[in-house]
Chains A and B, each alone.
Chain A
């Protein structure tokens, strides 16, 4: 796979960790100027892929490339900013000292005051990292990732442990950097986050990429509608609905995912005239992903 617009690639990469195969001949490319979300269940190989692209891990077979170079080369890393979940902060350094030190690793860093401002840290600048809350520490990690004005920004679960307002601010700055031409690789458990930010979703499962498309296309591929209602009908009964994809309960409600809302809703209303609280919504990215993964499960079984 030769993709000239790619800023980071894994080509035919196999990686075993602790004797277990995690990735098997994986091909993956992060294209320039795009926000790419890497999503999938735990153990799918997301963190390992990020580890290989950032040079923390080396492939057993195949090749990892960052800006055409070995990701372990400082020349390649100087164009990348990384926010890891597993990284810590030195307790006795202040936020400003740490951001200043990190900025010094880059050739053309952002002014420190601007970085602090973008990450919402201006007020915390003189505090020592050891005294920060979890969410504040995540913002420092974010500041360290963006301080070098990198061409590629790698964000591993960026908004985990962040409050909603901080997360929204982060989304806005990420979007802005992408609009100015930076590439972003993002892993997330929060599919709303992926839907809001990403130009492209790479869905991973068991060490392979099982879907690679825009969030809208992935939603459309799974397609359909989600119907919720209060009814005496059981989820098992709902399997008779035309175009049924999924049936279950959501609190006291029946929740079904179907290809086409109208015929299914009509059948539900006929079967239970006492039905109340009927709501119909487009399937979310989360619904679509759940269906794609369920399909994978059936193929694997």
Chain B
């Protein structure tokens, strides 16, 4: 009878291989790591001359979420679509690799990239005078890293359905759209009413509100509600991504 045992360490090796691959593609790694830090330095620190630590902490909450959306949307959305066009997914799909290991590996690489981007922003915020108890730093970092998850699943769903070029365009639109509507750059209270309303539909808005609560900045709505909405959006994105994987012929 067939052995159904999965060889041990498949998931771990797949994750390590994917992280190594990301390292060898500096043309993708460097911009996704530097862009959020550059924006944070420019818009929060440089343009405001010497911002108060409170203001620097409030914007840190949003920019950390922004740092997670890039690797997730581009690594998954554009990356998966290109890998599909190159026949790399086909290579994996006829192999005995468990499908989950592919997603876990891509997610590990996206979270690694996010961690580097977030670490840069965190350092800049320290320079700007942001001080928090260690527990808050830990909670904020965890939240920022987990912010990659819903966007990774949305990106995966796109990547399984669109061609390479279309997926890059869609990832760009979502990258910028979720940053603006989610209030990651400009606080939501400063946005026009309709944009503020549309923001409710993007996970980044709710993630940023959760992050603001951790740094002690003013928020709208309760954290429990935001957490529940993010969880539902993540599950929905996961179902959508899974359906795309199942349906795609290659």
Contacts and interface: CB of A to CB of B under 8 A. Distances in A.
Interface of A: 17, 51, 54-57, 67, 69, 74-80, 82, 84, 86-90, 92-93, 97, 101-102, 104-107, 144, 148, 154
Given A56-B94, A87-B88, 11 more contacts: A74-B96, A74-B98, A78-B3, A88-B88, A89-B88, A90-B88, A92-B25, A93-B20, A97-B17, A106-B96, A107-B7
A101 B14 contact: yes
A105 B7 CA distance: 6
A102 B7 contact: no
17 contacts: A69-B2, A75-B3, A75-B4, A77-B94, A78-B2, A78-B96, A80-B94, A86-B250, A87-B87, A87-B91, A88-B86, A93-B20, A102-B95, A104-B9, A105-B10, A105-B97, A106-B7
Across the A-B interface, the 4 shortest Cβ-Cβ residue pairs: A88-B87, A88-B86, A87-B91, A92-B24
B13 A101 contact: yes
Nearest to A97: B17
A84 B249 CA distance: 14
Nearest to B91: A87
Contacts of A56: 90, 93-94, 249-250
Interface size band for B: 20 to 34
B94 A87 contact: yes
A103 to B, nearest CB: 9
B91 A144 contact: yes
Given A84-B87, A88-B87, A105 B95 contact: yes
Contacts of A51: 249
Contacts of A54: 94
Contacts of A78: 2-3, 96
Given A56-B249, A67-B2, A101-B14, A86 B90 contact: yes
A89 B97 CA distance: 15
Nearest to A51: B249
Nearest to B84: A88
Contacts of B4: 75
Contacts of B20: 93, 97
A57 B17 contact: no
Given A67-B2, A84-B91, A105-B7, A90 B14 contact: no
Contact of B94 (A17, A84, A88, A89): A84
B21 interface: yes
B135 interface: no
A75 B7 contact: no
A82 B95 contact: yes
A101 B91 contact: no
Contacts of A82: 94-95
B109 to A, nearest CB: 12
B6 interface: yes
Interface string B77-118: 000000000111011011111100000000000000000000
Given A56-B93, A104-B7, A76 B87 contact: no
A107 B94 contact: no
Nearest to A150: B96
Interface in B1-53: 2-7, 9-10, 13-14, 17, 20-21, 24-25
Given A84-B90, A92-B21, A77 B2 contact: no
Contacts of B96: 74, 77-78, 80, 105-106, 148
Given A74-B98, A105-B95, A87 B2 contact: no
A110 to B, nearest CB: 14
Given A79-B2, A93-B17, A55 B9 contact: no
Contacts of B87: 84, 86-88
A20 B96 CA distance: 30
A93 B6 CA distance: 24
Contacts of B14: 101
B13 A55 contact: no
B94 to A, nearest CB: 4
A89 B91 contact: yes
Contacts of B88: 87-90
A238 B25 CA distance: 65
A35 to B, nearest CB: 19
Contacts of B90: 56, 84, 86-88
A124 B96 CA distance: 25
Nearest to A50: B94
A90 B90 CA distance: 12
Contacts of B24: 92
Contacts of A148: 96
Nearest to B88: A88
A76 to B, nearest CB: 7
Which of B10, B25, B87, B94 has the largest count of A CB atoms less than 10 A from its CB?
Answer: B94
Contacts of A92: 21, 24-25
